Amino acid sequence: MIAKINNFEIDLSKPIDISIPLSNTDENPIAWYIEKPEIKPVVFGDWIGKVSEGKSSTNFNNIFFNPHGHGTHTECLGHITNDFYSINQSLKQFFFLAKLITVEPTKIGDDFVITKESISTSLNVTKSEAIIIRTLPNQKEKKSRKYSNTNPPYLSEDAAIFIRESEIQHLLIDLPSVDKEHDEGKLLAHKAFWNVKDTHNLNPDARLNATITEMIYVPDEIEDGNYILNLQIASFENDASPSKPILFKILDCRV
């Protein structure tokens, strides 16, 4: 089915899912020192909400998970502010012109850092609303990696400022955070991207409608370039929600 989004033609029958599904198995990726998600049937006395147990006509599961630590998620600036802001209120549009780039983090001391230079050389003059960052090496193990206490690569403050100043509203990355794992709570990239100067007294020009999506996975066969992004979230009144970013190739190759 051919559709026109933002004046670009896409084929809705050929979605490219770059999310990582949430499961209660050891294959689920984990960050931030928590255990794997729990998905298990409700139990009332001798009644079990599982058809295969023979005591229920429906499967009726409780799910316990953390959106930040258990897979692909999208967050708003409420993730770092004293006052409450909800991703469900911040994200009101869901289709965007996006640029997929592949970068190799630079070794700086004991860290691997995505620098402003690596971002700026990969972007072109196309006016993108979203940027999708695939990091090298791009092993399939990203879909099940246990990130806690591994000091993963992260985005430099200068790179985050450059992305913000490029008027990109939505940042997607295949890492558990845009910031260094142990950074003494500085959160320099988060603050720079959202233009948050004081987390307790929000400045008027903070970017209330900008989002960060972390822990995506973009397979190697997906080429760098321009796409239409459909950024799907669940309707949680929370700073973050599990999400399902979908890419569509643009049929008009003049972009």
What is the length of the chain?
A: 255
For tokens 């995506």, the residue is: 216
pLDDT at 149 over 90: yes
Beta carbons within 8 Å of 54's beta carbon, 6+ residues apart: none
pLDDT at 241 over 90: yes
Beta carbons within 8 Å of 246's beta carbon, 6+ residues apart: 15, 16, 17, 18, 19, 229, 230, 231, 232
pLDDT, tens digit (0-9, with 9 covering 90-100), for 78-128: 999 999 999 999 999 999 999 999 999 999 999 999 999 999 988 765 689
pLDDT for the residue numbered 117: 95
The arithmetic mean of pLDDT across residues 191-205, rounded, is 97
pLDDT, tens digit (0-9, with 9 covering 90-100), for 31-79: 999 999 999 999 999 999 999 998 899 999 999 999 999 999 999 999 9
pLDDT, tens digit (0-9, with 9 covering 90-100), for 184-194: 999 999 999 99
pLDDT for the residue numbered 81: 98
pLDDT for the residue numbered 188: 98
Domains of the chain: 2-22+67-249 (3.50.30.50)
pLDDT for the residue numbered 55: 84
Write down the pTM of the prediction: 0.96
- Kindly list the distances between the CA atom of residue 109 and the CA atoms of 66, 106, 112, 113, 149, in Å, as whole numbers in the listed order: 31, 10, 8, 10, 17
